[in-house]
Amino acid sequence: MTFLALVRHGQSEWNLQNRFTGWVDVDLTEEGRAEARRAGALLKATGVPWTAAYASVQKRAIRTLDIALDEMDLMWLPVTKDWRLNERHYGGLTGLNKKETAEKHGEAQVKIWRRSFDTPPPPLDPASSCDPAKDRRYQGVDVPTTESLKTTLARVAPLFQSEIAPRLKRGESLLIAAHGNSLRALVKLLMNVSDEEIVDVEIPTGNPLLFEFEKGSIKPISARYLDAARATPLPQRA
């Protein structure tokens, strides 16, 4: 059997402050680090012989993976960091308090920006201190000014199809530490979830989602959260 584990980073500083984070590079809170340690313990308990790992280029995902690998005694595992696994870019909402934004624009409008499949928030002002375009880690990248889940999927899919899927087919078991929306995009690809249904998928922080495959296949035969007490509903596999 071959396995793929998706791990959403632990609680971040801006999660705690209830702010839209997106591509802003904030770190984990102490609770987030504890969640990462628990994720590592859960992954270690599976007994899976992991081959390699992936992370976004954002600190909260990298830190989560590092802590989990340390807990698993697998710090030596090869790690690929790729910006295409970054969180969705929240455009002009970046840095804003979610409650205050809902009070200003109305909960219905904010829900559309947050949860619709293909409606992005307003673009980020290029003068904003939150603009990542000048960050050298994105040199050569056409940095977006806003994203929907649809456009997030459009950057995640090529990475999955060109690198991750072929490795799974070869029998490599992989870990991916990333973000709510980039992982939601992967779930959509793996489970062939409809545009309408995927917006309701909510992946808990620090609770590994484990997929199992027959060797040579990327159609999962099972999918489960390792911490059943913190599991959220998964869509039916199409």
The string over 139-154, giving b where at least 16 C-beta atoms fall within 10 Å of a residue's C-beta and e elsewhere, is eeeebbbbbbbebbbe
Contact 206, 39 (CB under 8 A): yes
Taking the CB of residue 44, how many other CB atoms lie within 10 A of it?
16
Low-confidence ranges of the chain (pLDDT < 50): none
Residue 237 has a pLDDT of 67
Strand, helix or coil at 170? coil
Distance of alpha carbon 10 from alpha carbon 7, whole angstroms: 9
Contact 12, 60 (CB under 8 A): yes
Residue 111 has a pLDDT of 84
Name residues whose C-beta falls within 8 Å of residue 97's C-beta, 6 or more positions apart in sequence: 17, 18, 19
Segments making up each domain of the chain, as ranges: 2-230
Residue matched to tokens 């869509």: 235
pTM for this entry: 0.96
Q: Which residues are known catalytic residues?
A: 9, 87
Distance of alpha carbon 223 from alpha carbon 16, whole angstroms: 29
Give the Å distances, CA to CA, from 235 to 25, 87, 208, 211, 238: 30, 21, 16, 13, 9
Question: 2-230, what's its fold?
Answer: Rossmann fold (3.40.50)
Residue 115 has a pLDDT of 83
